[in-house]
Amino acid sequence: MSKSFCRMSLLAACALLVVTAPVGLGVAQAGDTIKIGAIYATSGSASFLGIPEERALRLKVDELNRAGGINGRKIEAVVYDTEGNGTKAVQQLRRLIENDKVDVVVGPSTSGESLLALPVANEARIPIIMHAGTEKVFTPPTPYGFNTPPSDRLVATDLLSVLQKKGVKRIAVMSSADGFGQSGANVLKEICKNFDVVLVDHEEFNRQDTDMTAQLLRVKASSADAVIIWSALPGPSIILKNAVNLGFDKPIYNSYAAASRDLLTQAGPAANGTFLTSMRLLAPGSLKDDDPVRPVVQKVYDDYKQKYGEAPPTFAAHSYDAVLIIKAAAESIKGDINRETLRDAIEKTSVIGANGVFKFTPENHGGLDRNSLSMVLLQAKDGNWVLAQ
């Protein structure tokens, strides 16, 4: 064997040692990035939820990365479209877990998808911060499931307390025949007695129905003092138009799933006077100066409008708050940031978000309660949402 060949072999061996050198000797560390996976309905009938959720997620991730990330780690967001389909949501979740190796998942956009995704996340032992309205996704709490919107129970409790103060004694409920509508209607039925309110009529409809006149006629004939619509759009818009055509004169209260300017646009003049229980992002200018949630709400509103050229739907707060929660949890971790340490940290995280003041505990994986400053009552006046008197 020649001396020249020996020298070449020695150089090759040295090069191999450099390539396979242990972490800390100039090779990029696996923990240099925090990977957030997201499953949102950016197309399909639930895209009115998923699009602002994805936008707000990227808005906050980009802002954090410009500032150096979290604890010096850059954030990578991997987003897949579920089309609002539960089966596809589970498929995309598995893709994030198994192929993309994300550290934490945010989403899905709807309650139905979340109920299917939750057991998968628990089985895979990965924290998931969902955007569901139904309390079933975190009550009772499961090890890895968390949530950012207020639950239907929290919202229904707040709304019924308002109606009680207004002297309303009898209500009718019109709810969509889906997971969100059925869960909300059941909660309202359960807690009415706590407010000395009687539910005298319950009508269901499919969210994509184009006419609810028959249901409204039954409500009109009932002894109800007021009506609560528990459904996402477009159902509430159709009902408001039908109500005008029928000369329906009972006050109508909409649930937070309709908390959007789209309700005003779709219903047009028929929306005038209707009430809406909403998170604060829909009307930041109505908040008091000393409201502790106002600075976050105003920042989300201003940043979103500047980047996307339009005011944010209230659903944008769901994902924005999820990133705030992940940031606060990651910053509290002293050692390795991974799925387990993030789960443990989220469960102890307190943070002020756009949806309210979050205080997660082992017993509360929704993070919000009646003292969280989540809800306001708005009323439609001349094409705008204003704080109800």
Please report the pLDDT score of residue 246 as a whole number.
97
Instruction: Please calculate the CA angle 235-236-239 and round it to the nearest 5 degrees.
Output: 90
Please report the pLDDT score of residue 20 as a whole number.
32
Whether residue 40 contacts residue 107, with contact meaning beta carbons closer than 8 Å, is answered with: yes
11 located within any domain: no
Buried b (16+ CB within 10 A) or exposed e, 251-262: bbbbbbbbbbbe
Confidence bin at 18 (pLDDT 50/70/90):
very low
d(C-alpha 79, C-alpha 2), whole Å: 56
Confidence bin at 8 (pLDDT 50/70/90):
very low
Residue percentage of the chain with pLDDT more than 90: 88
Please report the pLDDT score of residue 30 as a whole number.
44
Average pLDDT over the chain, rounded to whole? 92
Q: Rounded mean pLDDT of 380-387?
A: 93
Is a pLDDT exceeding 90 seen at residue 286?
no
Please report the pLDDT score of residue 288 as a whole number.
87
Please report the pLDDT score of residue 3 as a whole number.
41
Same domain, 221 and 176: yes
**51 lies in which domain range?**
30-151+294-359
Confidence bin at 22 (pLDDT 50/70/90):
very low
Same domain, 252 and 272: yes
Same domain, 140 and 157: no
Is a pLDDT exceeding 50 seen at residue 9?
no
Same domain, 213 and 354: no
Is a pLDDT exceeding 60 seen at residue 27?
no
Is a pLDDT exceeding 60 seen at residue 265?
yes
2 located within any domain: no
Is a pLDDT exceeding 80 seen at residue 287?
yes
Each residue's pLDDT tens digit, 169-196: 999 999 999 989 999 999 999 999 999 9
Each residue's pLDDT tens digit, 35-61: 999 999 999 999 999 999 999 999 999
Q: Which residue has the higher pLDDT, 263 or 208?
A: 263
Please report the pLDDT score of residue 31 as a whole number.
57
Each residue's pLDDT tens digit, 95-107: 999 999 999 999 9
Is a pLDDT exceeding 80 seen at residue 33?
yes
Same domain, 190 and 306: no
Please report the pLDDT score of residue 2 as a whole number.
44
Same domain, 168 and 147: no
Same domain, 237 and 381: yes
176 located within any domain: yes
Residue percentage of the chain with pLDDT more than 70: 92
19 located within any domain: no
Same domain, 176 and 312: no
Structurally, how many domains does the chain consist of?
2
100 located within any domain: yes
367 located within any domain: no
86 located within any domain: yes
Same domain, 279 and 160: yes
Is a pLDDT exceeding 60 seen at residue 4?
no
**CATH code of the domain covering residue 273:** 3.40.50.2300
d(C-alpha 163, C-alpha 171), whole Å: 9
Same domain, 216 and 232: yes
Q: Rounded mean pLDDT of 364-384?
A: 94
Q: What is the reported pTM?
A: 0.88
Is a pLDDT exceeding 60 seen at residue 215?
yes
Each residue's pLDDT tens digit, 292-321: 999 999 999 999 999 999 999 999 999 999
15 located within any domain: no
Same domain, 220 and 183: yes
Q: Rounded mean pLDDT of 324-350?
A: 97
Same domain, 90 and 195: no
Is a pLDDT exceeding 90 seen at residue 1?
no
